[in-house]
Structure 1
Amino acid sequence: MLAIDLGLFAKDNKPITLKAAAIMSLIWVLFALAFGGVLYFWGYELHDVHDIARLQEIVAKHHHDIKINVNDVAASIQAYNTNLTLEYLTGYVVEYALSVDNIFVMVLLFSSFGIPERYYHKVLVWGILGAILMRCIFIFVGAALIAKFGWILYVFGAFLVYTGITMYINRNQEEEVDPKNHPVVKFASKYFKVTHKLDSGKFFLKENGVKYITPLFLVLLVIEFTDLIFAVDSIPAIFSVTKDPYVVFFSNIFAVLGLRSMFFLLVNIIHKFHYLKVGLAFLLVFIGAKMLLHSYLKEWGFSTLHSLIVIIGILAISIIASLVFPKKVDYGK
């Protein structure tokens, strides 16, 4: 799937059109939904669930919210598949929404480093490949920690509530990036020779036998570093939805794979969604509170479907509010 995306977009250094970005965004979303269909019909194959004993073992291990009828294997397995699909879709929506925050930062980074639009896609290709690798490591380390230390979920929950409150408090602050004083740039400049030449979109440039790194490679390093920071939020967030590391992985990776096409779709209009940061702040607080109050919510009958409805509701309200109440432009600046 990723090879198809790269084959369509990475043939040459040309800006991606809005039409191409919209088509690829739609394709990625359809791929993600199709995979949800795979889980709905064949999710039991994920952990080789073919009998009640195995189903009970997996449900207990990953804390799935379903009722098992020991007298009806088929119905119980289908209930498991349905819940698995809901967990996946909920996680996908959460990760896709949090990815929008990445786009805010990426637009800022490309602008601050003076990267021409025709080179965006090359940087994003490698940035997303790096993000996939980092997410794999984070997800399975996180799953191992949760399996070993169940109390760490409360740490994750408190951290997400804190992050959401901080995001809300700082929602109106203008974000700035100083390319010369960024810690990643300082680190790279300390160990490598840096040139200001872009040289046809190359990451490395050789002059007089000396190899230099270009601004394109610097911005790639900063993007990878930024995604590492975002992963600290997004990985705990997805574990509030499901404890199954494979479902966590699938929902996370599908969201990351669609990030590049979504970037080109939103790059010129993302400023219009000025209430989205508020929505994401409330989203993080909700997810964190859900992790902290999980046992109580389970007693009250709060299911994965309810979580999905609340999450979609928060995002829909923030988007609609942005369009209905557009941000006032200060022409005096």
Structure 2
Amino acid sequence: MGVSPLIWGITIAVILALLAFDYFFHIRKAHVPSLREAAIWSSIYVGLALVFGIVVFIFGGVDMGAEYFAGYITEKALSVDNLFVFLIIMASFKVPREDQQKVLLFGIVFSLIARTAFIFVGAALINQFAWVFYIFGLILLLTAGNLLKKDEESDEANNFIIRLAKKLFHTTDKYDGDKLFTKIDGKKVLTPMLLVMVAIGGTDILFALDSIPAIFGLTQNVFIVFTATAFSLMGLRQLYFLLDGLLDRLIYLSYGLAAILAFIGVKLILHALHENNLSFINDGEHVPVIEITTGLSLSVIIGVLVFTVLASLFSKAGKAQTAVANLRRHANNYTDLSYTADQAERERIYTELLEEESYVKTMEKKYRDKVKDIDKIRNEIIEAHRQHDEYLKN
């Protein structure tokens, strides 16, 4: 099914309107969204994506609809994995809780721009050179391997771009609300807010290099690739706050994503062999290989995600690791006075710390003690309790 310029125009206008609505009605006034607010808006954005998929099914047919849902689910899963990195970056820069929404919305907009550019470049390459499928397949296989040996330290925000920015420009370590620039002693300087956005933008480009080959492995329909990618990013800001504290629980998600990307990588290479025109492979002739259908791809993607999520949620080691990680995060957030100026938010954090601490005490000691830096974490929790006791005395 060909997509007319009118449909393209309406679709882009709707996506831009959703982003504008997000900014003017949610972001302009800095605040920490409640769990209820995050849940409602996450549901609305997922609902819009599902409604759009049903429309594609009705007007585009079963194959086009299945391709959209396979692409949307894959991109959504990769987006959730991206939230882990956003979490690490914002923790590195100690972004105030009230201003994290603005950083996330910037990340979403920049990601949409970067991925759109990659989509049209990728489509142009595919239309001209069938061998590009070989490259996309290898990229996904390498990405899958990197996910299996992923090291959190590689995601630190203080990367080369940030170090270069700090050397070339006047910067400050203090935030001035959500301003990108501020004045210190009459001189204009960059705030950490601008630097964190640069870090988020840089990682978005890396994410696009992985995600676009993945969705091209499921469909070569540019309209489906674009809309599935765009809708997967919509609501990511709300999802961040909804899953806050639960992201660490998904300890096996990277393994699941590695399996999915490897599967799509193999699918791409098989497709490349089927469409082969490289002279040094089978004398430039097509290689008779099986082609993986969209229906099978969709089933594998959903099956792997369900299995890895359930395995993460029910694993005793995973529960212990998550609970202790949450404890450390709550303790750090409570003792870091720059994290939030809202006293009610600080009390909420301390209440969650107490609840998580009680939960950890019910776990078997062998699982708790396996957590890295457990003694250091205990000291951080003791410090949080000490500061809270001092606050009550005053």
Q: TM-score if structure 1 supplies the norm length? A: 0.83
TM-superposed CA distance for 1:301, in Å, is: 6.6
Asked whether the 8 Å contact 2:79–2:236 carries over to 1, the reply is: yes
Selected match of 1:227 from 184, 197, 204: 204
Selected match of 1:322 from 285, 288, 312: 312
Q: Mean alpha-carbon deviation: is it higher for 94-103 or for 200-209?
A: 200-209
Q: Match for residue 187 of structure 2?
A: 210
CA gap of 1:259–1:187, structure 2 versus 1, over 3 A, is same
Q: How does 1:60-79 map to 2 (within 5 A)?
A: none
Q: Match for residue 178 of structure 2?
A: 201
Structure 1 residues 222-245: Cα deviation after superposition (integer angstroms, max 9, x where no partner): 001001001100000000011111
Selected match of 2:132 from 152, 173, 184: 152
TM-superposed CA distance for 1:298, in Å, is: 9.5
- 1:34 aligned to 2:51? yes
Q: Mean alpha-carbon deviation: is it higher for 191-200 or for 24-33?
A: 191-200
Q: How does 1:178-327 map to 2 (within 5 A)?
A: 178-179=156-157, 181-207=158-184, 209-294=186-271, 300=290, 302-326=292-316, 327=318
The code of the aligned residue for 2:293 comes to: S
Asked whether the 8 Å contact 1:36–1:89 carries over to 2, the reply is: yes
Asked whether the 8 Å contact 2:66–2:294 carries over to 1, the reply is: yes
The code of the aligned residue for 2:258 comes to: A
Structure 1 residues 74-131: Cα deviation after superposition (integer angstroms, max 9, x where no partner): xxxxxxx221111111100010000111100011111111111111001112221111
Structure 1 residues 194-253: Cα deviation after superposition (integer angstroms, max 9, x where no partner): 112211221111345532111011011100100100110000000001111111111011
Asked whether the 8 Å contact 1:32–1:254 carries over to 2, the reply is: yes
The code of the aligned residue for 1:185 comes to: I
Selected match of 2:153 from 175, 193, 210: 175
> Equivalent residue of 1:206, what SS?
strand
The code of the aligned residue for 1:34 comes to: V
Asked whether the 8 Å contact 2:76–2:232 carries over to 1, the reply is: yes
CA RMSD of superposed structures (Å): 2.0
Q: Which structure has the greater CA radius of gyration? A: 2
Structure 1 residues 31-68: Cα deviation after superposition (integer angstroms, max 9, x where no partner): 1111112212233xxxxxxxxxxxxxxxxxxxxxxxxx
Runs of 4+, deviation exceeding 4 Å: 176-179, 295-301
The code of the aligned residue for 2:196 comes to: V
- 1 CA distance for matches of 2:227 and 2:195? 29
Asked whether the 8 Å contact 1:194–1:213 carries over to 2, the reply is: yes
Asked whether the 8 Å contact 1:108–1:176 carries over to 2, the reply is: no
- 2 CA distance for matches of 1:298 and 1:272? 43
Asked whether the 8 Å contact 2:67–2:224 carries over to 1, the reply is: yes
The code of the aligned residue for 1:318 comes to: T
- 2 CA distance for matches of 1:151 and 1:178? 35
Selected match of 1:139 from 119, 123, 127: 119
Q: Mean alpha-carbon deviation: is it higher for 154-163 or for 187-196?
A: 187-196
TM-superposed CA distance for 1:191, in Å, is: 3.2
TM-superposed CA distance for 1:178, in Å, is: 5.0
CA gap of 1:178–1:152, structure 2 versus 1, over 3 A, is closer
Asked whether the 8 Å contact 1:98–1:234 carries over to 2, the reply is: yes
Q: Match for residue 88 of structure 1?
A: 68
- 2 CA distance for matches of 1:177 and 1:96? 20
- 1:16 aligned to 2:38? no
CA gap of 1:201–1:147, structure 2 versus 1, over 3 A, is same
Q: How many residues align?
A: 293
TM-superposed CA distance for 1:279, in Å, is: 0.5
Give unmatched runs, 5+ long, in structure 2.
1-17, 275-286, 322-367, 376-394
The code of the aligned residue for 2:93 comes to: F
Asked whether the 8 Å contact 1:157–1:287 carries over to 2, the reply is: yes
Q: Which has the higher contact order (CA 8 A, sep 6+)?
A: 1
Percent of pairs with identical residues: 40
Q: Match for residue 11 of structure 2?
A: none
Asked whether the 8 Å contact 2:249–2:313 carries over to 1, the reply is: yes
> Equivalent residue of 2:170, what SS?
coil
Asked whether the 8 Å contact 2:256–2:305 carries over to 1, the reply is: yes
Asked whether the 8 Å contact 1:107–1:267 carries over to 2, the reply is: no
- 1:161 aligned to 2:151? no
Q: Match for residue 102 of structure 1?
A: 82
Q: Mean alpha-carbon deviation: is it higher for 264-273 or for 88-97?
A: 264-273
